[in-house]
Chains A and B, each alone.
Chain A
Amino acid sequence: MRAKLTFQDIQVAVNVPAGTRVIEVSEKVGSAIMYGCREGDCGTCLMEVMSGMENLSTPSVLEDKVLRENMAGKRYRLACQAQVLGDVTVGPA
């Protein structure tokens, strides 16, 4: 199964295998989402989900904690943690 992951800031969409994490794609295509620790700890890769939030994997307890500590709203996820399960559009926070 494949899904379309669109980066709104650079207007690039990528067909990815379901389960791919956003981080695996965003750096290769040059989206401006920034990265720090890459393991769900620092919160640097906070990204805005413009559409398709329901098509991302459910946040882990760890990600949930980081999102809360960063006062992230409902439209935000960590790009290093979120897995793409269906069509979704994202961009830098």
Chain B
Amino acid sequence: MRSLLNVAETRTAIALSERVHWIGALDPSLRSFDIILKTANGTTYNAYVVRGSAGVAVIDTVKANFAEEFFTRLESVADYHEITAVVLNHLEPDHTGALPELLRRAPQAKLYISYKAQRMLKGLLKVDTPFIPVNTGDTIDLGDRHLSILHTPYLHWPDTQCTYVEEEGILFSGDIFGCHFCDVRLFNDSVGDFRFSFEYYYAHIMRPFKVHVLDALALIEPLTLNTVAPAHGPVLRDHPRQYVERFRDLSIPRLRRENTDDKTLLIFYISSYGNTARMAEALYSGANEIEEVRVSLYDLAGGEIEPFVDLIEEADAIALGTPTINGDATKPMWDLLSSLVVVNMQGKLGAAFGSYGWSGEAVPMLEDRMRGLKLRVPVPGLRVKLIPTDEELAACRQFGRRLAEVLTARHKAEVLEFEDL
């Protein structure tokens, strides 16, 4: 039978188990989170209380303007003098807004934060506050309940961590496995369909940190998981492991690439009179001369940005070609570059080329942007004034060949000169 729970109608704590309660807040009218995320039905700020025989712990707090709801729920299950520990899984203000007041009301409580969060705490509170830095392997003793810390950095800040209660099989996962979805029924087996929100949150918050997701999963997967209790969105008590498995699926390539030892080079171009297109084709044929490099050629005008971003995420190198129009690169190329913020570009190779009429600023602009995205730009960009000659097309082929050579040489130790970078 469906749950009749309506969290909005109460100001009491909601039981996850006899000893663990949700004391968060609902924010149903929020429509944009941190500028970058749309929130079609709002979000929740989830905080929790764990009661042990020798102490009470509060896990995370809420955004400052929801503090009253948080404190009212907290007071329904614990007195302030009972609180022995406050654990912050993540210091972003939507989880720490009620912290100063909580510490004022429970001055005896010890504050536990990730060892990576120490300077952030100072930046948030602006006053020296005593705290205990913790790392994987540290435990907080509440008598017959114990909180174990899992250090899970960069998901999605350097300080993020998870807190696990072994006796309950409950993982307080911070922003990991969270999503912006507000539903008064709170639990994943009762709320509306939030699968889109779960994947959307991953795509915008976790995706740039896939390597760190896999590190975190290595710590989380061996645990007994009765419930995963994230800091936003539904509490995952029904089949929680499927959400863990989904994170693994989302963090590994979808289709295994053929010839996995080969390096991949993607060439994207946009062209108004066909000149930059001819340069791209010459570059493509030059790069194809090098074995062990798999080269692909795409006209930006013929595709949507999103699948191109997916391709780039798994590529080893990109070469971007655009004409210069009014002293700038073209909008489709900037749109592609500005969409790459959701994937990790560090360590890939980049190159730029293009035809121009007057001045040709686009190529160095693209190179600067790629360096800003932490790509390495090892071969100086190639510009051609208006229509490429046969010699210039030969130079484009050479450019492609050189790029592919640099790409394959990265297998071996390479010694570069600082001045050539």
Task: List residues of A whose CB falls within 8 A of some B CB.
Answer: 4, 6, 10-17, 20, 25, 27-32, 34, 36, 41-44, 66, 69-71
Contacts and interface: CB of A to CB of B under 8 A. Distances in A.
Contacts of A30: 346-349, 374-376
13 contacts: A13-B413, A13-B415, A14-B421, A15-B418, A20-B418, A28-B371, A28-B376, A30-B347, A30-B376, A34-B346, A42-B119, A43-B119, A71-B133
Contacts of B346: 30, 32, 34
Nearest to B375: A30
Interface string B359-387: 00000000000010011100000000000
Contacts of A34: 154, 346
Contacts of A20: 418
B330 interface: no
A11 B115 CA distance: 30
A20 B416 CA distance: 15
A30 B411 CA distance: 14
Interface in B317-347: 346-347
Interface in B210-266: none
A14 B418 contact: yes
B418 A69 contact: no
A29 B376 contact: yes
A48 B287 CA distance: 35
Q: Pick from B116, B154, B415, B418 the residue with the most CB of A within 10 Å.
A: B418
Contacts of A44: 158
Contacts of B375: 30
B117 to A, nearest CB: 10
Contacts of B374: 27, 30
A83 B101 CA distance: 43
